[in-house]
Amino acid sequence: MVVRTNTNTNTVDQSIQVLNLDRIVMVYLLKLDHATLAHCQRTREISLLIGKRMGLNSNELQLLGLGALLHDIGKSCIPLAILTKRTPVSSTEWELIQTHPQEGYRYIEAADLDDIVKQIVLGHHRWANGRGGYPLDPDQSQPSLFTQIVTVADVVDAITSQRPYRPALNVEYCIAYLEQHLNTLFNREIVSVFKSIKSLHTFENN
């Protein structure tokens, strides 16, 4: 089976409508550029594949899927010219990009969403061991399992998708990268589960 994640705008919008999201959350989500929204959708699909394989129940999968879908909602505050840049971003632009988890958290903070979902948005760029990433957790505590799943799924999609500045890289490269950072950036068990899924699926997002 091929996990060919759909980048068709109508399909993305339909799947979001089914979720019956808080109006303000929906507004920010639909403000995202098409490429980021499609990335969020694929990250959701990959997260759910991992979560199912890890035995999460249907309620937990729902929270995981929603958090994954919303994880980059804060990118709606980043100018499109920066997100689509074909050349390396400047240090000032990189600092701006790094604000997206906090911006996203700010957008959804007041919404009627489980804290698990909000923490995915805030913590998806934090390291699995809590000691790095952004925004750094002042307590350096480990993100929840939900957040750590989305962190892996996010990186998988980012690496295996075409970017404005490079072509898509293959899943073998992606696994080598994940394995290089086991127990620091990425949770060992989650990476292992992803590898078991990888043997059954092809990740193609060109």
Q: How far is the CB of 98 from Fe ion (least distance, A)?
A: 9
Phi first, then psi: give them for residue 203, nearest 5 degrees. Answer: -100, 110
Question: What is the number of helices (H) and of strands (E) in the chain?
Answer: 11, 2
Stretch near Fe ion under the rule CB under 5 A, chosen from 54-62, 67-75, 90-98, 191-199: 67-75
Asked, as a colleague might, if the bond just before 135 is cis with ω within 30 of 0, I would say: yes
Site membership for Fe ion, residue 45 (CB under 5 A): no
Stretch near Fe ion under the rule CB under 5 A, chosen from 23-31, 144-152, 154-162, 166-174: 154-162
User: Out of 56, 154, 161, 190, which residue is the one contacting Fe ion (CB under 5 A)?
Assistant: 154
Nearer to Fe ion, 34 or 199 (CB): 34
Nearer to Fe ion, 55 or 78 (CB): 78
Site membership for Fe ion, residue 72 (CB under 5 A): yes
Q: Which positions touch Fe ion (CB under 5 A)?
A: 72, 154
